[in-house]
Amino acid sequence: MKGVIFRGLESLVIEKCGMAVWDTLLEKNAPEDRVYISVQSYPDDELVGLAQYVAVALQLPIAEVLKAFGEYLFGYLLPRHSTIIAKFDGFVSLIMSIDSVIHSEVAKLYQEPNLPKIRCKVIEDGLILMHYYSSRKLCLCAEGLIYGAAAHYNMTVTLKHIECMHKGADECAIEVRFKQVIV
Ligand code: MNH
Ligand code: ZN
């Protein structure tokens, strides 16, 4: 997993729990003197280990932490990859282009990234079906990222994880129901 993702987690933990908590988490879950560089890769297990400790520190289920992290991560990536995100005029075009545009641009910027496979299909107005596959099984982060994208475009979303790799499925299937927030 790329350092930029770890830095997103670091930023979230420091914002919510303070620097001291992050330092303790790092001490327990990473090699000594670990510093995350955005474009460099670090072991996937290290991220999961850190997230598990965040769950303990915040007394939250790990699933909630991964979702909250995904949601936060969208906002973290936004200013760092504004040229990529600026290509989209709204929530639907962004979601429909995760693989074909976003992650393919990511693959040009970072060497040997480990990206999930995401396929999306518009089922009807206000409903997209997303298929997610990754050996890292971070489908809960994907959910969080969808929430984050929705917030960015003033949409409300309801997600339904109808099939899940954690429950033995070959890939996850997530129903994404969305509506524009009327302000
Ligand atoms: Mn994207 C990794 C889903 C938007 C850049 N992305 C991941 C992972 C998931 C994911 C899940 C974790 C790896 C895995 O599951 O195997 N990403 C999404 C979803 C959206 C999304 C569902 C939108 C909604 N991602 C974005 C945007 C950017 C971005 C916007 C930035 C322009 N994603 C990344 C990068 C990684 C990543 C960078 C890390 C890749 C790596 O570690 O090698
Ligand atoms: Zn899943």
Q: Supply the pLDDT for residue 165.
A: 98
The CATH number of domain 82-180 is 3.90.1520.10: yes
Q: Token pair of 3, please?
A: 């350092």
CA 13 to centroid of ligand 1, rounded, Å: 19
Which regions of 68-154 does DSSP assign to beta strands (E)? Answer: 117-124, 127-133
Using the predicted structure, report yes or no on whether residue 58 has a pLDDT greater than 90.
Answer: no
CA 140 to centroid of ligand 2, rounded, Å: 7
Q: What is the ipTM of this complex?
A: 0.97
CB 123 within 8 A of CB 129: yes
pLDDT digits (tens, 9 = 90+) for 6-46: 999 999 999 999 999 999 999 999 999 999 999 999 999 99
Q: Is the CB of 149 under 6 A from ligand 1?
A: yes
Q: Supply the pLDDT for residue 57.
A: 87
**Closest listed residue to residue 125, CA positions, set 59, 177, 53:** 177
Integer angstrom CA distances of residue 138 from 82, 90, 172: 23, 24, 10
% of the chain beyond a pLDDT of 70: 100
pLDDT category, 169, cuts 50, 70, 90? very high
